[in-house]
Amino acid sequence: MSYVDEIIDLVVKQNPNEPEFHQAVKEVLNSLRVVIDANEEQFRRDALLERIVNPERQIKFRVPWVDDKGQVHVNTGYRVQFNSAIGPYKGGIRLHPSVNLGIIKFLGFEQIFKNSLTGLPIGGGKGGSDFDPKGKSDREVMAFCQSFMTELCKYIGADTDVPAGDIGTGAREIGYMYGQYKRIKNVYEGVLTGKGLSYGGSLARKQATGYGLLYITNEMLTTLGDTLQGKTVSVSGAGNVAIYAIEKAQQLGAKVVTASDSNGWIYDPEGIDLAALKEIKEVKRARLTEYTSYRPNAEYHAGKGVWSVKVDIALPCATQNELNLEDAMNLVENGVQVVAEGANMPSTAEAIEYLQKHNVRFLPGKAANAGGVATSALEMSQNSERLSWSFEEVDSKLQGIMKNIFHNIDAASKKYGFEGNYVVGANIAGFEKVVDAMTAQGIV
Ligand code: NDP
Ligand code: 2IT
């Protein structure tokens, strides 16, 4: 049996009931076969794959908090410190009722290779809790965040592990967590990114994931002699990534016709009204059902359906496994040319295979959504030198990083004979640097 197949079997056996983690490991290892087979003897001797699929440390803790009626609730908190070969652990905190250890491990595993692709010195980690911030008062969210950080602060630090936002964790949650960290540790340091601008946050971090998604898509299209100008685009989600993907797509001359949340989706044939969307989601924290009161010509549909719309470019920006084989078939039938992932692992393995077989240009999340964590690393740099850079400076660095990522994954796909397969390209390019650092640092 090949080394890759042995490790996949081992991961499934040792981590039962963690299907998302299995899915992420399979995608990465299957696309690394060509590199692993060529180095099999050395990698086996060093147990390289056994080490890379095992987190360096995983922390699970109780998070008790009191609601507005005096009732105590207990959630579970997680931080998976996956790999620190190339820098301090770095990755977001997800607050969503679906969170469990397997989901945090899949996200942390992906983060290792994503962070490597940015070219910046950040290792891979992820955290979260099954707490649902939706429908909670600000005080309840603060109570949760303070309790969560009271335990998490024992394990993180500006040079150890630097969490950030993800689903359900935005500027409000980061602020409460930062305040509690500072209070307990009595240090003012860049321990979290995505901070507010008045206390060490970076300009352009809020926009970075969505903007970066469009920068890399644009770079790919330019390289292929095409442009975003005049393209029709579907976006799923209506959160941080989706909103700023829509904003940059519009700025680059495309028309975005959809957005969604976990209850339903909107179709606006004239193009999404971004000011309305921001007001609904960022100011009111309300549901997308409200959109048609701003735009009477738009349609609201309950349930799932964004991928049934005819578009040139599809940008999944909500959550994992939201674009399945049937969705991929619909998109291809409707002539989609590009699918670029703003979310983490939004496409199932079967969907990716189908899209690639039908010559759809597919940019995987670990490359396409790396602009967020890359800008987090820029926030860390600014905190270290106790300076803040202008929006233009951060944005121009972000553009450079996304262009580099595209050319690196493109070159890796060509070097190993998989031209145009950016899944293989991204996994190989991300893996090579991590392996080099792990090998240099000995058996740790
Ligand atoms: P937000 O919480 O800001 O928004 C998430 C959006 O996705 C919401 O519209 C939400 O709808 C929808 N959504 C979440 N879970 C589900 C679900 N189970 N089914 C259907 N819809 C769902 O999160 P972000 O925009 O920050 O994150 C979106 C994706 O991007 C995630 O995969 C995240 O890991 C990834 N990502 C985020 C980065 C960042 O910098 N924030 C960086 C790189 C990747 P509702 O409000 O109804 O829950
Ligand atoms: O998935 C991701 O890359 C993020 N949620 C952002 C992580 C970060 O540290 O900015």
Which pLDDT tens digit goes with each residue over 288-314?
999 999 999 999 999 999 999 999 999
Among 261, 280, 323, the mutation site with the greatest number of ligand 1 atoms within 8 A of its Cβ is: 261
Q: Which helix (H) or strand (E) holds 163?
A: strand 161-164
Whole-number pLDDT of residue 89 = 99
Strand ranges, E, within 270-363: 299-302, 313-316, 338-340, 361-363
**pTM, entire model:** 0.98
Whole-number pLDDT of residue 139 = 98
Q: Residue 262 carries which DSSP code?
A: S
CA nearest to 199, candidates 46, 28, 383, 371: 383
Whole-number pLDDT of residue 15 = 98
Segments of the chain scoring below 50 in pLDDT: none
Structural contact between residues 169 and 92, judged by C-beta atoms closer than 8 angstroms: yes
Ligand 2 closest atom vs CA 373: 10
Ligand 1 closest atom vs CA 164: 40
Which residues belong to the active site?
Answer: 126
Among 110, 111, 112, 213, the mutation site with the greatest number of ligand 2 atoms within 8 A of its Cβ is: 111
Alpha helices in 160-302 (DSSP H): 171-185, 205-223, 240-251, 274-278, 291-294
Among 240, 307, 322, 375, the mutation site with the greatest number of ligand 1 atoms within 8 A of its Cβ is: 240
Ligand 1 closest atom vs CA 114: 43
190 pocket-lining for ligand 2 (C-beta < 6 Å): no
Q: Residue 235 carries which DSSP code?
A: E
Q: Phi and psi (nearest 5°) for 49?
A: -70, -35
Q: How far apart are CA 127 and CA 107, in angstroms?
A: 9
Structural contact between residues 157 and 186, judged by C-beta atoms closer than 8 angstroms: no
Whole-number pLDDT of residue 57 = 98
133: CB partners within 8 A, 6+ apart:
95, 141, 144, 168, 169, 173
| Nearest-CA residue for atom 9 of ligand 2 | 91
Q: Which residues line ligand 1 (CB under 6 A)?
A: 96, 165-168, 209, 237-242, 261-263, 317-319, 342-344, 369, 372
Q: How far apart are CA 259 and CA 427, in angstroms?
A: 29
Whole-number pLDDT of residue 232 = 98
3-state SS of 89-158?
EEEEEEECCCCCHHHHHHHHHHHHHHHHHCCCCCEEEEEEECCCCCCCCHHHHHHHHHHHHHHHCCCCEC
Q: Name the pairing type of β-strands 264-267 and 299-302.
A: antiparallel
Whole-number pLDDT of residue 9 = 98
pLDDT, tens digit, 9 for 90 and up, residues 23-54: 999 999 999 999 999 999 999 999 999 999 99
**Residue 204 three-state SS:** coil
